[in-house]
Amino acid sequence: KSEMKADARTEGLKLTDNAMCVLERRYLKKDKQGKTTETVEDMFRRVARTIAMGELIYNPKADVRSREDEFFNLMTRLEFLPNSPTLMNAGRELGQLSACFVLPVDDSIESIFDAVKHTAMIHKSGGGTGFSFSRLRPEQDRVGTTGGVASGPVSFMRAFDVATDVIKQGGTRRGANMAILSIDHPDIMKFVHAKDKAGVLTNFNLSVAITDKFMQAVKDGVDYDLLNPHNGEVVSSLNASEVFNKIVHMAWKTGDPGIVFIDRINAYNPTPQLGRIESTNPCGEQPLLPYESCNLGSINLSRMVTVSGGQNTVDYKKLSRVIKSAVRFLDNVIDVNKFPLPQIDEMTKKSRKIGLGVMGFADMLLELGVPYNSENSIKLAEEIMCFVNDEAHKFSSELAVERGVFPAYRGSIYEKSGRPMRNASCTTIAPTGTLSIIAGCSSGIEPHFALCFTRNILDGTKMIEVNPYFERAAKEGGYYSEELIKSLAEGAHLDEVDVPQDAKDLFVTAHQIVPEWHVRIQAAFQKCTDNAVSKTVNFSRDAGECDVAEVYKMAHARNLKGITIYRDGSREDQPMSTGKAE
C-alpha cells in the first residue's frame, strides 16, 4: 500500500533513458539471477527512509515519516542528489555512503600494504581514495632491516593500481585513486613522468603538491632543495623553473599531473589542531586528513529557476529550502553510515565534514540566457555559490544548536569566530559524473561539452545526447533541421553552422571557451566553497605548453586550491567525445 502511495506521489518523476540505463546497471537492487527487484521510486524511498532514521539518534520521538517524505521529495524532484555510494548502498548490507576518503601511507611495508587493503575495502563500496606518498623514502634509499634498497613511491603506487584493477571487477563501480607527491620529494621527476607511457597507473590521477615557496622560486628562477622525508636531509636541488616546465609539459602531453596548492589548502584547513592536510580525494575537490571521509551531495541548479515579471530568475527561496534539507540530509548520512574501518569512523565523526555543491550550472545559464564565458556568468557563479555557502553554514549552525557542535570544534577555525558549527566544512563542488546523468542536467559547474555528443559510460556503453535546451531554442527559432543536428553530432562547432549569432553566443561549448574563462569560473566558485572545486580546464588540441604554464600561474594568482587541465586528444580513453555515434 505504501508503495502505491509512493508511486502516486512521484507521478512527476521523469528520468531520461540515459538515467534509467545507469540506474538499472549499478544502482537498483538485483536478485541472485541479476533481475532488478526495485523501481527508481523504491530506491529513493530506501535512501530517504535510511537517512531519515538518523533523526532518532538525537530525538527518539522525531517524526521520521515526515522527514522521510521531505528527503524523498527532494530526490524525486531531482532538486538534490547525494553522492553515488549513498544511492547505491543506503539501507543495504554494505551501508557505506561516502564518495571520498584519504588514507595515510607511512614509510613502512606494513603501512603501505595496510593502505592497499583498506583501499580495496573502500573501492568495493564505491568510494574513491587519495594518498600522499610524500612520506616514503626515495628510490635507492637504504632499507635498514634488509640492507637492500628502497623502491620509492612510484613503484609502490603500482601495487595500489593493480589492487584497484582486481577489485573493480566485483565492486559497485570503478575505484579511483589520487596520488600526491610533494614538490620537494627526491623522486619528484619520476612521479611527474609516471604516466608518460599509455596504459600505466590508469586508476590514478596524479597531483604534485606545490608550495608557495616553490612558486616563488619559479618566479625568481632559482634552485630549490629536495629533502629525504626519512631523515629530513637535503639530498640535492633542482631548478624550480625547469621542474615547473616539466610538470607543464607532462600535463600538456597526457593531462597528468595536475597540481594542488598545498599551502593554500592548509591555510583553509578547518581543524589544524588535528593535523596537516596532505591529500585530496581522487578528483581533487575534497581535501581531507588521513582516515577522514566525506559524503557529498549536489543541488541541481537547473531546477532553481522561476519566472518572475515575465523573466527567468534564480529562485532563491526554493534554493534556501533545498539547502536546509540537504544539510540535514548530509549530516544524518554521517550517523547512519557504515564506515569501512574503525579509524575512519572515528576521524570522520570528529570533524563531521559534509560537501554540499551544485550541478546543472550550465543548464541554469541557458535558462537565464547568460553565456558561460561572460561577466554575468562570473557574477552569477559568485552570487549563487556564496548564497549556498552562507545558507549551508547557517543551517549547520542551527543543527549545532540542536545536536551539538562537531567534536573537534575546540581548536578549529570556528571556535575562534565563536560560531557554533555542526560540520567542519559544508561545501564542495563535485564532478557529478553520474549524478548529473541521473538528474539529466549538465555536470557540476562545467560548460556543455557539445550540443550533440556520444557519451562513453561505465563498461564501454555509448549513449547519444542532444542538448534539450538547444533543441527547443532551435525549433522555436525556426533553424532546427536534421542536417544541423547531424553536422553537430559529427563534430562541427556552432560557429561553423548556419544559426543566428545570439544562439552562437549563448550555446557556447567547452572547446570554444578559452582557458582563462574556465579558470575564472572555477575561481568564482572557489571564493565561496569551504573545500575545493572540481573543474577541468579544456585546451584545444593545438594549444601550446606556454598556454598551460600561463593557466597554472593564473590558478595560483587567483587563489585556486588546485587545477586539472585536459588538452583535446591528449588521452586515448577520453571519458566524453564529440563525433559520430557508433
Catalytic residue positions, numbered? 281, 283, 285
Choose one: 45-53, 171-179, 315-323, 404-412; the region binding ligand UDP (CB under 6 A): 171-179
Provide the β-strand partners of residue 103.
131
User: Of 78 and 100, which has the nearer Cβ to ligand UDP?
Assistant: 100
Q: Retrieve residue 172's grid coordinates.
A: 559497485
**Beta strand segments in 506-561, E:** 536-539
- CA pair distance 155, 190, nearest whole angstrom: 10
For the chain, how big is the Rg over CA atoms in Å?
24
How many whole angstroms separate alpha carbon 259 and alpha carbon 205?
Answer: 10
Nearer to ligand UDP, 453 or 470 (CB): 453
Site mask for ligand UDP (CB under 6 A), range 61-90, x = bound? ----------------------xx------
The answer to whether the beta carbons of residues 52 and 64 sit under 8 Å apart is yes
Nearer to ligand UDP, 124 or 553 (CB): 124
Phi, psi (deg, nearest 5) at residue 107: -80, 60
Please give the full DSSP string across 454-514, using - where no structure is assigned.
EEEETTTEEEEEE-HHHHHHHHHTT---HHHHHHHHTT--GGGSS--HHHHHHT--GGGS-
Nearer to ligand UDP, 50 or 281 (CB): 281
DSSP tag of 303: G
Q: Which candidate, 53, 164, 63, places its Cα nearest to that of 118?
A: 164
In whole angstroms, give the CA distance from residue 274 to residue 282. 22
Shortest separation between residue 286's beta carbon and ligand UDP, angstroms: 7
Residue 293 CB, nearest approach to ligand UDP (Å): 10
Number of residues lying near ligand UDP (CB under 6 A):
21
Query: Does the protein bind ligand UDP through residue 371 (CB under 6 A)?
Result: no
Residue of 336, 435, 452, 548 that binds ligand UDP (CB under 6 A): 435
Closest CB to ligand UDP among residues 182, 428: 428
C-alpha atoms less than 13 angstroms from C-alpha of 421 in its C-beta half-sphere = 27
DSSP assigned state of 180: E
Q: Could you say whether residue 274 binds ligand UDP (CB under 6 A)?
A: no
Least CB distance to ligand UDP at residue 364 (A)? 18
Closer residue to ligand UDP (CB): 128 or 257? 128
- CB closer to ligand UDP out of 137 and 173: 173
Q: Mask 213-242, x = binds ligand UDP (CB under 6 A)? A: ------------------------------
Residue 176 interacting with ligand UDP (CB under 6 A): yes
Tell me the closest approach of the beta carbon of residue 168 to ligand UDP, in angstroms. 9
Using the rule CB under 6 A, give the single segment among 19-27, 167-175, 367-375, 399-407 that binds ligand UDP.
Answer: 167-175
Which 3-state string (H, E, C) describes 347-363? HHHHHCCEEEEEECHHH
Question: Would you state the cell numbers that stand for residue 355, as one nine-digit string?
Answer: 560537501
Of the ranges 53-61, 142-150, 304-312, 427-435, which one interacts with ligand UDP (CB under 6 A)? 427-435
Least Cβ distance, residue 430 to ligand UDP (angstroms): 3
Q: Are 366 and 396 in contact (CB under 8 A)?
A: no
The answer to whether the CB of 94 falls within 8 A of the CB of 337 is no
Kindly tell me which of 176 and 452 has the beta carbon lying closer to ligand UDP.
176
Residue 100: which H helix or E strand, with range? strand 100-103
What does the DSSP assignment read for 153-179? HHHHHHHHHHHHHHHHTTSSS---EEE
**Interactions with ligand UDP, residue window 275-304 (CB under 6 A):** 281-283, 285, 296
Which 95-154 positions form the footprint of ligand UDP (CB under 6 A)?
Answer: 99-100, 127-128
Q: Does 433 bind ligand UDP (CB under 6 A)?
A: yes
Tell whether residue 434 is a contact of ligand UDP (CB under 6 A). yes
CB-based closest residue to ligand UDP: 128
452-457/576-577 β-pairing: antiparallel
| Stretch in the footprint of ligand UDP (CB under 6 A) among 170-178, 193-201, 371-379, 507-515 | 170-178
Residue 124 cell numbers, joined: 568495493
Report the interface residues with ligand UDP, using CB under 6 A: 83-84, 99-100, 127-128, 173-176, 281-283, 285, 296, 430-435
